Structure 1
């Protein structure tokens, strides 16, 4: 099924002053676009990263603990060559303890942030050709080479030897790596078992 971008409605209201007999008018414009093809993103292991069980003694006491990086495979399949970007929505927004650009891991004891997780894309391949990951933090006006994948930027892909501008892709494959960080144990009150509760939604947007 073709995906239709959300239409933007602009309502321009003309000012009307009392006692003025001139007719008033209002312009209503409806804009948007219909893409010729749709894309479907997929993540290996159903998008689940499981760090298993940790004990409080496994955590650094006075500095953050970086857990072993975890990886999954990202695949985006489009019906035809398509310009698109990737971004995320942090379903635990406001709980990132390390960096606001990262994703939160939830709260414990109602007032303690557990940590953060950052995502990055490596070794992207578009239509069987190696490409580079590019990021825009100003809505697509400018792009720089950066593996970041998150909610504070748009992520796309450019030709390895070309300018830093998005290219149309039919099939994309890349390694998605997650870097999970837990705050120092001195900042946590661990009485019962505490879940690592990070959750983000990967979003694909058409250019």
Structure 2
């Protein structure tokens, strides 16, 4: 997997000093990739889900409260067929009250984790043909047929029952959002608490 297109390539210049003239040496490698085509992701509705105001009394006291499932459309448009993966950046890292694969929903003023949200891809279509989502937890060495879109895995597109990423130009899928609020007994709810999840979907080139 190569560096995501959004990350600039930095070149480090080392200033010479008198002691640098000694016989010993070390190597400095500058690497990167120039891709022949670019891909742009797009999420419907501006990528925003708003659950509005929730009354504290309506939350489960001893277990997680599941909020209504929500859906959005994800599209990726490339200039040509391209091998790519999808992943997320959890911009509320460390605040997930659920599994580590879930995305955090922020913290209360007392430092309590509000909850978590999981993203899954359903009904994927690659260049007009039904496809499947596959994920890798080892940087693309091995793949499994799961639909999760998260910051701890890479998600790619495959055909049929195969577990091999394919090159895609136009990709569309439904993102299903599963959101849980942590047990109310563990949250300080004397004031309004924002549900403040935020994640970035990124395209990585293989």
TM range, smaller chain: 0.7 to 0.9
Deviation at 1:73?
0.1
The gaps in structure 1 that reach 5 residues or longer are 10-21
Distance in 2 (CA, whole Å) between partners of 1:4 and 1:73 is 22
Q: Aligned pair count?
A: 193
SS of equivalent to 1:186: helix
Cα gap change, 1:8/1:49 in structure 2, threshold over 3 Å: closer, same or farther? same
TM-score normalised by structure 1 residue count: 0.87
Query: Which is richer in strand?
Result: 1
Q: What do the CA deviations read for 1:51-100 (whole angstroms, capped 9, x no partner)? A: 12110121111110011111100000000000001111111111111111
Distance in 2 (CA, whole Å) between partners of 1:61 and 1:197 is 20
Cα gap change, 1:71/1:190 in structure 2, threshold over 3 Å: closer, same or farther? same
Deviation at 1:191?
1.3
Structure possessing the higher radius of gyration over alpha carbons: 1
Does the 8 Å contact 2:159/2:166 carry over to 1?
yes
Where relative contact order (Cα < 8 A, 6+ residues apart) is larger, the structure is: 2
Does the 8 Å contact 1:159/1:167 carry over to 2?
yes
Aligned residue runs from structure 1 range 1-207, under 5 A:
3=5, 23-161=23-161, 163-207=162-206
Does the 8 Å contact 1:8/1:31 carry over to 2?
no
Q: What do the CA deviations read for 1:91-126 (whole angstroms, capped 9, x no partner)? A: 111111111111110000232111001111011000
2:19 aligns to what? none
Q: Which stretch of structure 1 is more off in the superposition, 180-189 or 121-130?
A: 180-189
The gaps in structure 2 that reach 5 residues or longer are 12-21
Does the 8 Å contact 2:39/2:78 carry over to 1?
yes
Q: Give the RMSD, CA atoms, in angstroms.
A: 1.9
TM-score normalised by structure 2 residue count: 0.87
